[in-house]
Structure 1
Amino acid sequence: MREKLRVAAYAVCVREGQVLLARWIDGRGRAEWTLPGGGMEHGEDPYDTVLREVEEETGYRAEITGLLGVDSRRAVETRRFGRKVDQHGVRLVYEGRIVSGELRDEIGGSTDMAAWHPLDEVPALHRVGLVDVGLRLWRERPVTGRVP
């Protein structure tokens, strides 16, 4: 079985009781809300990754105000032609503050929309688990930078 490691960086941006999310389109065309962010390019620092990804996916320029934690996810996934891949994702979750720019949707990327959502409405959204992990890190701020 093939093994694949992906390191990514994401931002939790909350203002006035709302969180900024991007709508991610998976390989099968399904849409789910996620934190703005994404995979590191070879040689790129994760800090630079999160700033680049927030701007690409939302149109905003962010300032990073802290590292909230690290989330690790491992799963065996079935890919094309029934091939199995042992996928390990390491996700650095930062707290961000929007400093400039205007909200816009990404064109030609892995997301198709960006929007602010009231925090109390997030549980009703069709979302990836990372949204819950990120918001929990933001709320609880565990010393270990990890939520069980």
Structure 2
Amino acid sequence: MTMVKYCASCGSNLEVRVIDGEERQACPNCSFVHWGSYSVGVGALVVRDGKMLLVRRAQEPGKGYWTNPGGYIEQHEPIHSTIEREVKEEAGVEARTVGIVAVRDQPRDIHNVYIAFEMEYVSGEPVPDQFEVDGAGFFSPEEIAGMNVAPFTKWLADIAFNGQTGGLEKDDENELQFRHAGLFKVPTLASR
């Protein structure tokens, strides 16, 4: 269990209590419960002319490895906007979110969920930001095989090059009234 000492609402010392069958840190003075620590990362699979966009990490973790562009979502940013922003920031390429094609779940002290998006190339030539990444380009499967590519990115490249479906597609045409929500669904027969 991640140890948080103080209540985020009132500042009191937290205590451990069993809530919903699990030991959780809870405030004895208000209704605050620390449900856990989580991070949500996103990654882009941008393919143009049979080549996938990769960037070389200039910082840890993964310094020196080629990976797909990506990052962590901001608190009030729709997830599809996050990945479009990350591709632009890291590689100078504009791409549009098509759908979700893979999810990685890593339960640990900070539970990490990573969502990989199929992206449609719109414009721009790869230029690294020289801060987070120091290299960027579109690479063929043959080129990728000879590069220092992170193992998870190799798995994602296989999905980008060989995946058989579009995954979950972005649903912009619905009647739900969620403010700033991004909805994704399994493609219907009408949309294929």
> Bigger radius of gyration, 1 or 2?
2
The one of the two structures with greater contact order (alpha-carbon pairs below 8 A, sep at least 6) is 1
Task: Give the Cα separation in 2 of the matches to 1:53 and 1:106.
Answer: 11
Counterpart in the other structure of 1:97: 120
1:95-133 deviations in whole A, cap 9, x for unaligned? 11211223211133x222211111122122212223123
More strand by percentage: 1
RMSD value, Cα: 2.5
Q: In structure 1, give the amino acid aligned to 2:39.
A: R
- Are 1:68 and 1:141, in contact at CA under 8 Å, matched by a contact in 2? no
Identity over aligned residues, as a percent? 28
- Deviation, 1:28, is 7.0
Unmatched tracts of structure 1, length 5 or more: 76-85
After TM superposition, the score normalised by the length of structure 1 is 0.76
Match of 2:92 among 46, 59, 66: 59
1:47/1:29 CA distance change after superposition, 3 Å: closer
- Count of aligned pairs: 134
After TM superposition, the score normalised by the length of structure 2 is 0.60
Task: Give the Cα separation in 2 of the matches to 1:55 and 1:125.
Answer: 23
More helix by percentage: 1
1:111/1:87 CA distance change after superposition, 3 Å: farther
**Mapping 1:1-148, distance limit 5 Å:** 2=2, 4-27=37-60, 30-74=63-107, 86-108=109-131, 110-138=132-160, 139-141=162-164
1:102/1:135 CA distance change after superposition, 3 Å: closer
Task: Give the Cα separation in 2 of the matches to 1:95 and 1:31.
Answer: 24
Unmatched tracts of structure 2, length 5 or more: 3-35, 169-192
